[in-house]
């Protein structure tokens, strides 16, 4: 129940709140805010991210069979589809770097490439209910899903000019993989599936290192500790998984084998499964 309080000579009126006089920089205060479970908003939705360079750039031979499989799977599962940028986004990065544009500028211009890919995928899925989902239209997502539509969104997170500096690199640290992971985390989705052109995670890039070892299951913490020279997924996803409340399991499958999608949606451990075991929470009373 809301409690109204008055104080001071002028009898100022306040609504009592545990945070009303607290510093949001205080470690104990911040720890105390994590005492309630997080609400899964759409726990029956499956987020599927189609890689740009790995799938879309390969053209009709790769993308059409995968989309056909998505249409079949949509009869049983609610699917939210995300797309990556691919080679054109990398070309955009190259030009922007050559011009000396800072990281925030790179993030701003690169997002447009994802949006182009989003419209191309929507055109292919239009007759099956494919519809472009803009970031300010999330409130209609339950209605679209209940109507049998396949929402399609850009994977690039909307940091734009506010993209955090990334140290020794100028390429934005938070890219399409991270953007779709955060959608899954906020929605409390049933699964987060990344569709690439490899069977999953390897100890090195198997295209350049045929001796690389395939990894069927691993934790996010183990990957971060191993510091692999190359990753099939954005490192920012793994860093965020460690602190996630909802999405603590992701899956990477080979989109050139579209039949794997139905198995992944059913929860089968095809491809690579990455988990984030819970870490011990800091005590509120810790010194």
Distance CA 182, CA 44 (A): 16
Evaluate whether 166 touches 232 at the Cβ level (below 8 Å). Answer: no
Backbone angles phi, psi at 201, to 5 degrees: -85, 135
Predicted TM-score of the model (pTM): 0.89
- Per-residue pLDDT tens for 193-222? 999 999 999 999 999 999 999 999 999 999
Tally of CB atoms within 10 A around 79 = 22
Q: What average pLDDT score do residues 118-140 get? A: 93
> Exposure of 239 by Cβ count < 10 A (0-12 exposed, 13-18 middle, 19+ buried)?
middle
Q: What's the topology of domain 45-275?
A: Carbamate kinase (3.40.1160)
Distance of CA 216 to the CA centre of its chain: 20
Residue 287 has pLDDT above 60, yes or no: no
Residue boundaries of the structural domains of the chain: 45-275
- Per-residue pLDDT tens for 45-93? 999 999 999 999 999 999 999 999 999 999 999 999 999 888 888 998 9
> Exposure of 250 by Cβ count < 10 A (0-12 exposed, 13-18 middle, 19+ buried)?
buried
- Per-residue pLDDT tens for 143-157? 999 999 999 998 888
Indicate if the alpha-carbon torsion angle 217, 220, 224, 228 is positive or negative: positive
Distance CA 221, CA 108 (A): 30
């Amino acid at each position: 129940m809301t409690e109204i309080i008055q104080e001071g000579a002028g009898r100022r009126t306040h609504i009592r709140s545990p945070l009303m006089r607290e510093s949001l920089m205080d470690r104990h205060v911040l720890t105390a805010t994590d005492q309630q479970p997080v609400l899964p908003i759409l726990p029956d939705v499956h987020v599927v991210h189609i890689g740009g360079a790995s799938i879309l750039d390969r053209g009709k031979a790769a993308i059409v069979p995968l989309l056909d499989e998505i249409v079949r799977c949509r009869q049983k599962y609610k699917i939210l589809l995300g797309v990556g940028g691919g080679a054109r986004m990398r070309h955009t990065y190259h030009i922007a770097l050559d011009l000396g544009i800072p990281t925030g500028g790179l993030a701003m211009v690169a997002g447009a490439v994802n949006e182009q890919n989003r419209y191309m995928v929507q055109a292919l899925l239009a007759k099956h209910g494919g519809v472009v989902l803009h970031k300010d239209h999330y409130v209609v997502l339950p209605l679209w899903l209940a109507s049998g539509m396949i929402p399609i969104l850009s994977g690039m997170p909307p940091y734009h000019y506010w993209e955090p500096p990334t140290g020794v690199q100028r390429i934005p640290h938070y890219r399409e993989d991270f953007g779709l992971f955060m959608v899954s985390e906020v929605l409390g989705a049933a699964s987060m599936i990344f569709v690439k052109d490899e069977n999953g995670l390897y100890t090195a890039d198997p295209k350049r290192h045929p001796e690389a070892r395939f990894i069927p299951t691993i934790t996010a913490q183990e990957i971060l500790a191993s510091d692999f020279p190359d990753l099939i997924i954005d490192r920012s996803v793994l860093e965020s998984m460690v602190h996630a409340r909802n999405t603590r399991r992701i899956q990477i499958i080979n989109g050139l084998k579209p039949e794997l999608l139905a198995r992944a949606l059913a929860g089968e451990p095809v491809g690579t499964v990455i988990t984030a075991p819970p870490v011990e929470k800091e005590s509120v009373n810790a010194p």
